[in-house]
Amino acid sequence: MRIPHSGKPAYARNRGIEAAKGKYIFCLDHDDILLQNTLRNLASHLETTTASEIAYGDFLRCNSAMVYEIGRDYYGWPHPNGRAALYSIFKGDHFYQHSFMFTKRLWHQVGGYDEAITYGEDLDLCIRFILAGHLPIHLPITTHMHREHGKNLTACYEYRSVWLAERQAHYRKYMHQLPLHLTPDQISDIQDALQIAASTHLNGPLSQKAAAALVNMGSGFAITCPA
């Protein structure tokens, strides 16, 4: 199926999932390379582990010529519970990209991808999975190759200002729910990490226009090995 380009991945993902007939969902961006047995390994875990409805693995980064970028691998982390996962996410120590498989039932339960989001729609979905009591389970397998060609939507993440604004927007969205799952000390740590003070104005979802403005203002940095 083909739909008009909206500039927001969540819209296309939701339309595809709505049309899908299967029990399990796995999203793959057009510029990434799926490795053999990825779907088999993820689906096999979900089939045999009845308590789990979302599983994810690791991925490698390569450039536009498919040359492996040493030291820029993504690896997941086996968090012991949802509290630890949420704390890690909002402190900026870990993130989830789209290399996860989940049940369509769970996608329905949390309301699908948030179509207002331009950046981090996959992370946002995982946050809602966790808040609903479903911890993403990490499998030590390489699922795909993430191809960085300079025109990726997330290329702006190399700028700390963009990453910080996007993560602050996620915090703003869930700030009233997080105290139900995290301790006051953890909330304080997160606010420090995200540079949030009593006077900080937290904006809504980051748009491409706003990200471009931040790129022109901000400094570059790279997230290499999230934990």
Q: Where residue 17 sits, what CATH number does that domain have?
A: 3.90.550.10
| Residue 171, domain member (yes or no) | no
Average pLDDT, the chain: 86
| Residue 186, domain member (yes or no) | no
Q: 141: domain range?
A: 9-153
Higher model confidence: residue 115 or residue 205? 115
Position 146 confidence tier, pLDDT thresholds 50, 70, 90 = confident
What is the count of structural domains for the chain? 1
The pTM is what? 0.87
Whether 5 has a pLDDT exceeding 50, the answer reads yes
Whether 220 has a pLDDT exceeding 60, the answer reads no
| Residue 81, domain member (yes or no) | yes
Position 202 confidence tier, pLDDT thresholds 50, 70, 90 = confident
What are the pLDDT digits (tens) for 120-135? 899 999 999 999 999 9
| Residue 36, domain member (yes or no) | yes
Q: What is the 3-state secondary structure (H, E, C) of the chain?
A: CCCCCCCCHHHHHHHHHHHCCCCEEECCCCCEEECCCHHHHHHHHHHHCCCCCEEEEEEEEEECCCCECCCCCECCCCCCCHHHHHHHHHHCCCCCCCCEEEEHHHHHHHCCCCCCCCCCHHHHHHHHHHHCCCCCEEEEEEEEEEEECCCCHHHHHHEHHHHHHHHHHHHHHHCCCHHHCCCHHHHHHHHHHCCCCCCCCCCCCCCHHHHHHHHHHCCECCCCCCC
